[in-house]
Amino acid sequence: MVSLCLNSLPLPPSSCPKKLTETSSSFSNGSIGTALKPIVVNGNPPTFVSAPGRRIVAVGDLHGDLDQARYALEMAGVLSSDGQDLWTGEDAVLVQLGDVLDRGDDEIAILSLLRSLGIQAKAKGGAVFQVNGNHETMNVEGDFRYVESGAFDECADFLEYLNDYEYDWDEAFVRWCGVSRIWKDERKMSRNHWGPWNLVKRQKGLIARSVLFRPGGPLACELARHAVALKVNDWIFCHGGLLPHHVAYGIEKMNKEVSQWMRGLIEEDTNRNMPFIATKGYDSVVWNRLYSRDISDLADYQINQINAILQETLQALGAKAMVVGHTPQFSGANCEYNCSIWRIDVGMSSGVLNSRPEVLEIRDDKARVIRSKRNRVSELQMVDYL
């Protein structure tokens, strides 16, 4: 039997910088005649963003479903519908709330698409941000329980594709979304008589994923560019939910620690190989479900307690409201606690609920849900809450 090990696949050089430094950057609208102030980003990874006058759109969990991701982004008005993957949001700000990984086949393609849109948006005076979810941190930890067979195949294809690019990471990564379908189709056509479940192919995909996502690996470093908690204007975006002790610890500190861990920069002998407060435990930022519980199942005193915790958190951050994903909302995107919390994971991936995509739009500090009607992008419903 043929056996594979980590040394049997080419190991791309780490795309991580040698150290993580404080950053503050700004970029303005390239259009003529606009009066909007530039977007200012503070923190590395981005933690505090000032985006005066911008339309903000937030998209929930995507879980490896590229078609549904494109559909949601088209609905949000930030992605062209002609298949060219062009940014159409002008100076808007897009925030994706994590869990791009697991349960679907096209995870890297979605990450590639979001990076491409981010580059295009910046040229227009807009921006694209992502926050990491629990499935991102699980994969960097080496927990592949929810990885689909097709996703392992994508990892093997992507690693081979990188070799063709001689590891020019930025160019290769941005282009992957446009060519991944070709690689997938060629793989399906070239399957031998052992079929898709042969052990050698599966082992190759597993090793490729380990190479790409282990701390310091190319895709782990790509994820390290993103925060676990992000404040844009007066709105907080995170995957599961922030609590008062997270704020007391410091969200910029948490973001940096998670990023350093993903980049492989935390020393092995520190006994702090994984930032627990952000990534592990039921009350960590990426796992917390406190704000996403169905209030019809709660007693009045529980509702009051949760609302008090939420208000304390928002007040400490100087924020108006929080937007979270993580917990699928069977009734669609919604808000609770006087719309201080928005829950926008609708389980749109075919690997979850395969529900119709919905996105949150924030304009002039007011939020509304955009959802498709009869599964047609041309017919949209707007639901106002604020």
Structure tokens at 343: 């829950």
Close Cβ partners of 253 (under 8 Å, ≥ 6 residues apart): none
Residue 227 DSSP symbol: B
d(CA 305, CA 293): 13
Structure tokens at 97: 């709330």
Decide if 83 contacts 66 (C-beta within 8 A): no
Q: Which of 135, 226, 246, 326 is catalytic?
A: 135
Decide if 59 contacts 94 (C-beta within 8 A): yes
Q: Which amino acid is at 24?
A: S
**Reduced to 3 states, what is the DSSP secondary structure of residue 50?**
strand
d(CA 328, CA 333): 9
- Across the beta sheet with 376-384, the strand order is 127-130, 93-96, 56-59, 358-363, 366-373, 376-384
Instruction: Decide if 135 is catalytic.
Output: yes
Cα separations (Å) of 330 from 100, 236, 322? 19, 23, 19
Neighbours of 238 (CB within 10 A): 27
Close Cβ partners of 316 (under 8 Å, ≥ 6 residues apart): 244, 247, 248
What stretch of H or E contains 79? none
Close Cβ partners of 50 (under 8 Å, ≥ 6 residues apart): 37, 39, 40, 233
d(CA 33, CA 350): 43
Q: Which residues are catalytic?
A: 135
